[in-house]
Amino acid sequence: MDVVTIYTEAQMQAYLEAHGRTARPASPYTVLFPALLVTHATHHLQASGHKRLEQLVLWGGYSTTHGIMLASLLLPETEANWGWVHILPEEQPKITEWLHNHGQLLFVEAHTHGFGPRATELSAEDRRHPPGRQDGFLTLIVPGYASSGINFSQAGVWECRNLSWTRLAPDQVCSRLHIIEEEEVRRVLG
């Protein structure tokens, strides 16, 4: 598993020592996506998309007074075929251990679908194998194999509540999901 972070290893350990383990807040909550991680996620998703294969990324982070600050982009090894992508079973404990060791929780998963009128819908396969089932966990379905990047207003944004998935309305997406630049990241995390 590869991981891209906004903090160095030493900074993540210092944050953990200063703030302790993050707690999952009650949903709904605001999610802050550092632009650097969005760029890395886009490139990762597009690499498989060029082969017309789905791909996924996971986002870990911290609960802050400003909302959820995504601090890490986890890129587990996956298996993909036309119409589905799965995290390899041996990656699951690596994901859990990495998040635990850094005091982060998994808040968001993004994966690609192809083109067409149902390209932002949560498929039956997606519902059978979600990476997270906690209340408030978000799944972003990026259409067109992310060929146009990650655009929240064009993606299907689905939230888990009571083990059921609900698509967020466009106004909810706009008010809750924000891409922020490095200066804002520093301000939020201190």
pLDDT per residue as tens, the chain (190 positions): 999 999 999 999 999 999 999 999 999 999 999 999 999 999 999 999 999 999 999 999 999 999 999 999 999 999 998 788 999 999 999 999 999 999 999 999 999 999 999 999 999 989 988 999 999 999 999 999 999 999 999 999 999 999 999 999 999 999 999 999 999 998 888 7
Q: Which pLDDT belongs to residue 161?
A: 93
- Give DSSP secondary structure letters for 27-38: SS--EEEEHHHH
Predicted pLDDT of residue 101: 96
Strand partners, 59: 73, 108
DSSP-assigned beta bridge partners for residue 73: 4, 59
- Are 106 and 97 within 8 A, CB to CB? no
Q: How many residues are listed for the chain in this entry?
A: 190
Q: Are strands 156-161 and 138-142 parallel, antiparallel or unpaired?
A: antiparallel
What is the Cα gyration radius of the chain? 16
Whole-number pLDDT of residue 111: 97
pLDDT of residue 83: 80
Structural domain count of the chain: 1
Q: Which residues contact 21 (CB under 8 A, 6 or more apart)?
A: 103
Q: What's the whole-model pTM score?
A: 0.95
Q: What are phi and psi of 18, to 5 degrees?
A: -75, -35
**Residue-level pLDDT at 190:** 75
User: In which domain, by residue range, is 14 found?
Assistant: 2-189
Q: How confident is the model at residue 159, as a pLDDT? A: 97
pLDDT at position 4 is 98
CATH code, domain with 156: 3.40.140.10
